[in-house]
Chain A
């Protein structure tokens, strides 16, 4: 699930959100794909997927998705069962009935 992966990796949230936006808006497409020669090939057949390719693919996939403002937008994950004892312990302090920590 995207969010939990993100939570593990997001050291710098500024970069996560603005990332490529730091230098201001692009005026035109000027980045030329650097030619990846055979050094990235595995066994002379497969090419390793670089992270930039991965994010490009992700952006492409998102292009025409349905717009939805929910937190779990289109993927419906299985939500943790909060009523089990251990989970309940951790959540109860969000309620006025929880034990005071002070």
Chain B
């Protein structure tokens, strides 16, 4: 639903894409107002995890003003200046750390001080990218934009499964005055598969069974498969039992696809077979590889963001089919920054005679708006 502008404030409705809106508001400096947040539901208003996100944004900015209505169904957000620096934040266990980490990752390069964030909470969640995935697939994308890696780091100190969490990570991000434009239209062929299986407060054999199943799927295609197991002990294993897997496929052009699967929450009644889990994750990875593109489908939006905020030059990337989330993000980008991408569907007609299923590739082209990080100190 497009925004309505009232006195230079963007007015939105509904709780969906809350994170996108606050993120873009913070970067663009434009105030947003979000109305009718879950107003028709039995439990109206903002959820705890969303309020928690506002807190986090408040910590890394200076001068942010937030007004919440009494019922919590409407919110006015006036962004401050991005500061960054040392932050410790305990994330709401309703969502994974990934929910918050993605925001920090998107804002990181534009802070005044290099970001050094300690996040505590649920490291693996069904709705959010896990910390392993961010590390494996998102950091290489940022690296393409900043070229020099001076202190880009994500360390998983403790893992924590839902519902109680207890995980901890450290995220460090360097600051940049501006991002480079990026041309990224080739992604090559998958050359190796890596993975991590973690087992928290469950029998270590679970991890090995997951490894076997996942490997069984991937070995159909490639011999270079290596999956690590991470047996966490004591406090490193968080507060809840659970296990899961993340698989990473690396191409010879440094594109990383990553997919994950995890066991169902303890206490929900269902149980997960490790074999099913490994196989499922393998299948998802194959599906991701099939869709292709220069970046993992979960991070298309972050690629679009950095392309749009680049120097005044042409950026060009080819990604797989756009996800619903990315489409919404592109719309939001247009509303906040006035950036419109040129989108083209590429079709490879080389082997059209076979009835093979070819996924649609989309070429994103845009001219950066020349966003400059004015807070960054220059020597």
A interface list, Cβ under 8 A from B: 2-3, 6-7, 10, 13-14, 16-18, 20-21, 25-29, 59, 62-71, 73, 79-83, 87-98, 101
Measured in the bound complex, the distance between the Cα atoms of B1 and A89 in whole Å is: 41
Measured in the bound complex, the distance between the Cα atoms of B340 and A33 in whole Å is: 29
Which residues of A sit under 8 angstroms from B334, Cβ to Cβ? Answer: 18, 21
| B55 beta carbon closer than 8 Å to chain A | no
Number of interface residues of B (CB under 8 A): 70
Which residues of B sit under 8 angstroms from A83, Cβ to Cβ? Answer: 217, 220, 286
Measured in the bound complex, the distance between the Cα atoms of B49 and A67 in whole Å is: 11
Known: A13-B343, A89-B356, A90-B356. A21 touches B2 (CB 8 A): yes
> Are B283 and A82 in contact, with the CB atoms below 8 A?
yes
Which residues of B sit under 8 angstroms from A28, Cβ to Cβ? Answer: 4, 6
> Are B5 and A25 in contact, with the CB atoms below 8 A?
yes
Which residues of B sit under 8 angstroms from A25, Cβ to Cβ? Answer: 2-5, 335
Closest to B223 in A: A97
Which residues of B sit under 8 angstroms from A29, Cβ to Cβ? Answer: 4
Which residues of B sit under 8 angstroms from A79, Cβ to Cβ? Answer: 283-284, 286-287
B interface list, Cβ under 8 A from A: 1-6, 13-20, 36-38, 40-41, 99, 102, 127-129, 189-191, 217, 220-223, 252, 283-284, 286-292, 297-299, 301, 321-325, 327, 330-331, 334-335, 340-345, 350-351, 354, 356-358, 360, 362
Q: For residue A2, give the distance in angstroms from its CB to the closest CB of chain B.
A: 7
> Are A96 and B335 in contact, with the CB atoms below 8 A?
no
A-B pairs, 10 with minimum CB distance: A63-B14, A90-B356, A82-B286, A71-B297, A71-B323, A96-B189, A13-B343, A95-B190, A96-B191, A68-B127
Measured in the bound complex, the distance between the Cα atoms of B358 and A81 in whole Å is: 15
Say which residue of B18, B38, B287, B356 sits within 8 Å of A67 (CB atoms).
B18
Interface of A is mostly: loop
Measured in the bound complex, the distance between the Cα atoms of B291 and A88 in whole Å is: 14
Say which residue of B6, B16, B331, B343 sits within 8 Å of A21 (CB atoms).
B331
Which residues of B sit under 8 angstroms from A27, Cβ to Cβ? Answer: 4-5
Closest to B302 in A: A69
Q: For residue B35, give the distance in angstroms from its CB to the closest CB of chain A.
A: 11
Which residues of B sit under 8 angstroms from A65, Cβ to Cβ? Answer: 15-16
Known: A13-B343, A68-B325, A101-B350. A91 touches B4 (CB 8 A): no
Closest to B191 in A: A96
Say which residue of A13, A26, A87 sits within 8 Å of B345 (CB atoms).
A13
> Are A3 and B321 in contact, with the CB atoms below 8 A?
yes
> Are B191 and A17 in contact, with the CB atoms below 8 A?
no
> Are B38 and A64 in contact, with the CB atoms below 8 A?
yes
> Are B5 and A70 in contact, with the CB atoms below 8 A?
no
> Are B189 and A81 in contact, with the CB atoms below 8 A?
no
Say which residue of A69, A92, A101 sits within 8 Å of B298 (CB atoms).
A69
Known: A13-B343, A17-B327, A79-B283. A90 touches B5 (CB 8 A): no
Known: A62-B14, A63-B14, A69-B325. A91 touches B345 (CB 8 A): no
Q: For residue A83, give the distance in angstroms from its CB to the closest CB of chain B.
A: 5
Measured in the bound complex, the distance between the Cα atoms of B327 and A90 in whole Å is: 27
Closest to B363 in A: A13
Which residues of A sit under 8 angstroms from B223, Cβ to Cβ? Answer: 97
> Are A63 and B16 in contact, with the CB atoms below 8 A?
yes
List 9 A-B pairs, Cβ < 8 Å.
Answer: A14-B342, A18-B331, A20-B2, A27-B4, A64-B40, A69-B102, A70-B127, A82-B287, A101-B350
Measured in the bound complex, the distance between the Cα atoms of B37 and A34 in whole Å is: 28
Say which residue of B6, B290, B323, B356 sits within 8 Å of A82 (CB atoms).
B290
Measured in the bound complex, the distance between the Cα atoms of B289 and A91 in whole Å is: 8
